[in-house]
Amino acid sequence: MDGLIAFEEHWAIEQTLAGFSEANDPDGNWRNVRQRLLDIHDMRLSEMDRNGVEMTILSLNSPAVQGILDVGEAVETAKMANDMLAEQVAKRPDRFAGFAALPMQDPDAAIEELTRCVRDLGFKGAMVNGFTQKDVPDSAIYYDIAEYRPFWAAVQGLDVPFYMHPRLNIPSRAHSYVGHPWLLSPAWDFGIQTADHTLRLICSGLFDEFPRLQMVLGHLGERIPFDLWRIDHLMRQVIPAEKEIGDYFRSNFHLTTSGQFHEAPFRCALAELGAGRILFSIDYPFEQFAEATSWFEGTELSDADRLKIARTNAIDLFKLDLS
C-alpha cells in the first residue's frame, strides 16, 4: 500500500559511526550498511518511492551519543548531528522528519537540546539509544534515577514522544554471554537491554508522576508483550508503582513493527495493546524496505486497522501535517 510512515529509520554522521560495532551488522555487510546510513536523499529516497513509504522520521544509529564518554563532546556531537539533520529535512520536508539525538550524560543539557530541537528545528520527539556511558567505559546510566525526573517533566511538557531504542550491553557487564558472542548482538541482547530499561522506568513510578508521557518501543515491544500477563501476575504486589505494569504499557507505550516481520509476535502485540498503539516501521538500513512492506501488505487486518498501523497512528502521535 502507499502512504506508509516509518520511524525507526537510521542515519549517521562520521562522528557517530566511530562507536558503532560491527556486531550490529550480523551479515557482515558493513560497507553497504555504512553507505546507507550516511545517505538520505539517494538510495533511501529511492527505496521509499519503490515501496510506498511516504515519510520517514530519521534518527541516529546506535549507540551514537549514548556511547560518548566525555560530557562536553556528547553535548557538541548531539547539537552538530541535530543541526545537520535539520538541514537535510529542510530539503524534503514532505518526505523526512527528525528525532532529536540527546546528550543524556547531562540531564540539563538534554532538556535544553530537546527543547531546541522541538521548538526551533521542528523535530517530532527524541530517540535515545538505551543507557548512557559517562566518564569511564564501564558505566551504564539508566533514566529511572532521580536526577532524570526534570528531564521527563520536560518531555511531558513539550508533548512529544520518547523512543527508547536498543544498544548492546557493555562487554564487561555481559558475563552471561561469555563464550557465546552471538548472543551479544541485536538478535538477543538488544531486546533484553531495552526491556530491562523499560521495566525500570515503569516500576520507578515514572508514569504516576508524568501520566501523559508517551514512549515508543521498536521490535514489537522488545518481548514484553509476550510476558506481560506473567509480569503482572508475579509483580503486582511488589512494584513501587500505583498500577500494574500492563496498565502503564497499554496507556503510555506505542510499539512498532521494526525488524519483526512475523505473524506470531505481531498477533501477540496486537492482542495486548490493540491496533491503536501499534505502528509500522522498518529499521532501515539493518532491515529492508521490501521485506517489511511485503509482510505488512500480506498480513490479515481490517482496512481500518491497517490504515491505523500504516499511517494514522503516526500522524496523531507525532502531529504530522501531511495534507
**What are the CA-CA distances from residue 190 to residues 23, 134, 155, 169 (Å)?**
11, 20, 24, 8
**Percent with pLDDT over 70 in the chain:** 97
2, with CB counted inside 10 A (0-12, 13-18, 19+), is: exposed
CATH number of the domain within which 213 lies: 3.20.20.140
Residue 251 to residue 213: CA distance in whole angstroms: 9
The structural domain count of the chain equals 1
Alpha-carbon dihedral sign for residues 124, 36, 132, 105: negative
Q: Is the pLDDT of residue 27 over 60?
A: no
80-136, pLDDT tens digit by residue? 999 999 999 999 999 999 999 999 999 999 999 999 999 999 999 999 999 999 999
Q: Are 285 and 37 in contact (CB under 8 A)?
A: yes
Average pLDDT score over the chain? 95
**Residue 30 in domain:** yes
Residue 119: what pLDDT? Answer: 98
Has 159 been annotated as catalytic?
no
Whether 105 is in a domain gets the answer yes
Full residue range of the structural domain in which residue 142 is found? 4-318
Over range 272-299, report the average pLDDT.
97
pLDDT category of residue 23 using cuts at 50, 70 and 90: very low
DSSP character at residue 310? I
Cβ-in-10-Å burial (0-12, 13-18, 19+) of 21 comes to: middle
Catalytic annotation, pick one of 120, 159, 283, 303: 283
| pTM recorded for the entire structure | 0.95
Residues 8-35: what's their mean pLDDT?
Answer: 75
Residue listed under C-alpha cell 522488545: 222
pLDDT band, very low/low/confident/very high, at 190 (cuts 50, 70, 90): very high
- Residue 96 domain-assigned (yes or no): yes
Q: Give the pLDDT confidence score for residue 213 in this predicted structure.
A: 98
pLDDT at 61 exceeding the cut of 80: yes
Cα-to-chain-centroid distance, residue 27: 22
- Domain presence at residue 230: yes
Does pLDDT of 24 surpass 60?
Answer: no
- The answer to whether residue 52 is domain-embedded is yes
CA distance 272 to 281: 19
* Contact predicate 138/173, CB 8 Å: yes
b vs e for 24-61, b when ≥16 Cβ sit within 10 Å of the residue's Cβ?
bbeeeeeeebbebbebbeeebbebbeebebbbbbbbbb
Amino acid at 25: D
Whether residue 323 is contained in a domain is answered as no
Query: What does 102-137 look like in DSSP terms, one character per residue?
Result: --TTSHHHHHHHHHHHHHTS----EEEESSEEESEE
Decide if pLDDT at 28 tops 70.
Answer: no
